[in-house]
Chains A and B, each alone.
Chain A
């Protein structure tokens, strides 16, 4: 239960940052603007896309959760 609460709080924080980017755009860049700036370097592009790829591998391909625990 406590694990779900922690991830829930994280989700709320992420939504708050997304909204902040649109509501106070003069003082706070949106996540898209931030990604645009960060991803002008090849190293950042490769790192971020590798993480995206790993998410797909981890959740769709790899057997990461033991069958006995389901």
Chain B
């Protein structure tokens, strides 16, 4: 986040405003296949995973950075959007409070089995090859889906 703010302050990327990068579908698919292959078939927590996740972050950052004219013409917040945003915010904040509670209650070793945080619950799943494959697929698909959002308004 700090890096994004520093890059933003330099104004280097402002030249891309108004022309958001739309990579071809085949390019996205090839990139996804390479990323998934490395993440699935190399050891978890390894250097290769770090490189792939870092490069994925940089590419997505470059895709979503530019503003477009449509961004400033977004429709005002309607009642149904506000209602939805409020409900999602309540669920999101409740999730964060629960995660934080589990984290602090489970600070000692025995507590982490009694009060597991999400990381403790998902760790065994990610150590399983099938679970890891599904998690990687979900993470990559989520990134592509999020990078495509914000281009149309409600």
Instruction: Name A residues whose Cβ lies closer than 8 Å to a Cβ of B.
Output: 1-4, 6-7, 10, 13-14, 17, 20-21, 25-42, 44-50, 52-53, 55-66, 68-70
CB neighbours (8 Å) of B106 from chain A are 3
CB neighbours (8 Å) of B114 from chain A are 1-3
Residues of chain B at interface, number, CB under 8 A: 63
Using a Cβ cutoff of 8 Å, how many contacts connect chains A and B? Answer: 163
Whether A40 touches B150, Cβ cut-off 8 Å, given contacts A49-B143, A61-B50, A69-B120, is yes
CB neighbours (8 Å) of B53 from chain A are 53, 56-57, 60-61
Contact A70 B126 (CB under 8 A): no
CB neighbours (8 Å) of B115 from chain A are 2-3
Other A-B pairs beyond A64-B119, A65-B123, A69-B113, 18, CB < 8 Å: A4-B116, A14-B91, A21-B84, A25-B80, A27-B83, A28-B83, A36-B152, A38-B85, A39-B146, A45-B64, A46-B64, A50-B57, A56-B57, A63-B45, A64-B123, A68-B109, A69-B109, A70-B127
Which one, A41, A49, A63, contacts B71 given CB within 8 A?
A41
Contact B1 A50 (CB under 8 A): yes
Cβ-based interface call for B21 (8 A): no
Cβ-based interface call for B142 (8 A): yes
CB neighbours (8 Å) of B121 from chain A are 3-4, 7
Whether A39 touches B45, Cβ cut-off 8 Å, given contacts A26-B80, A65-B123, is no
Contact A53 B91 (CB under 8 A): no
Within 8 A of A (CB), among B47-102: 49-50, 53, 56-57, 60-61, 64-65, 67, 70-71, 74-75, 77-78, 80-81, 83-85, 87-88, 91, 94-95, 98, 102
